[in-house]
Amino acid sequence: MDLFTLRKLRQLSVSFVVIGLLGACTTTTGGSSTVPSAELPARPEADVARDDGRKPFAVLDFLGVEPGMKVVDVLASSGYYTEALAHAVGPEGTVYAQNPAILLRLFGGRNDKALNARLMGNRLSNVRRLDREFDDLGLVAGSIDVAVTTLNFHDLYNRDPEQAAGMLAVLKGVLKPGGVLGIIDHNSNDGADHATLHRMPVSDAIAAAEAAGFTVETSDVLANPEDDRTQGPFTEGLRGYTDRFVLKLTKPE
């Protein structure tokens, strides 16, 4: 990897945060067989209250997350999906909650404090914090079963598709052959101002994934036909219920 590429990857974390603040493709539909682990503490009420719109266990079931797996929550923020993943892989699995420094410093360290509280006292014994940048994840190549990034990919892609490609390459490198990268994001209409709306067309995400060498499956588990995609995801009454796509990107064996 050349110096230019490393510098571009070092910019990934900033790109996600700053913009956020301002093969074959098939479709899959189905219910969830993944349930919270009885061997871990109950999930916080605040997390459970968000489940209606996010359906985390249906998403993780589609992505093939199973007990005992080694997984990464990419740009984990305060850890909503980190905890869902912890339950999905169970005590014998491992979850890496990855955050770059800038995401931990935002809003007076709000994400850092929330993640500390979530993990305090070894509450989730199968979770490891991964406070590292994309160009230095510290993960062994080919060691991860599943990585997941939620509502982040549009920020990077809308700013610079080449940086989005760089992120896909990094995550593909840490996945095992046959490993999966899950991307959940706000769908957009063709021709819209995607950056302003904090959205992206699913067709763009699929094209980027296939160009990176992944095979792609889609799920409509988070689809919402009542969202006409003309408003941003922070709009009152829409937050948590946007029309979202879920992509399952599989690294070739």
pLDDT tens-digit readout, 131-177:
999 889 999 999 999 999 999 999 999 999 999 999 999 999 999 99
- Tens digits of residue pLDDT in 88-100: 999 999 999 999 9
pTM for the whole structure: 0.88
More confident: 226 or 7: 226
Mean pLDDT of 2-6: 41
Please state, rounded to an integer, the average pLDDT across all residues of the chain: 89
Helices within the chain (DSSP H only): 3-10, 12-21, 45-54, 56-63, 80-89, 101-119, 153-159, 161-174, 194-197, 202-211
Alpha-carbon gap, residue 241 to 231, rounded angstroms = 12
> Does the structure show a pLDDT above 80 at 192?
yes
Q: What is the pLDDT of residue 191?
A: 97
Structure confidence at residue 32 (pLDDT): 52
Per-residue model confidence (pLDDT) at position 215? 98
The answer to whether 184 and 59 are in contact (CB under 8 A) is: yes
**DSSP letters for 122-156:** GSSTTEEEE---GGG--PPTT-EEEEEEES-HHHH
Strand partners, 183: 149, 247
Question: What domains can be seen in the chain, in order of their start residue?
Answer: 3-250 (3.40.50.150)
Local structure of 30: helix, strand or coil: coil
Nearest CA to 147 among 82, 100, 83?
82
pLDDT on residue 39: 81
Task: Quote the tokens at residue 210.
Answer: 């296939």
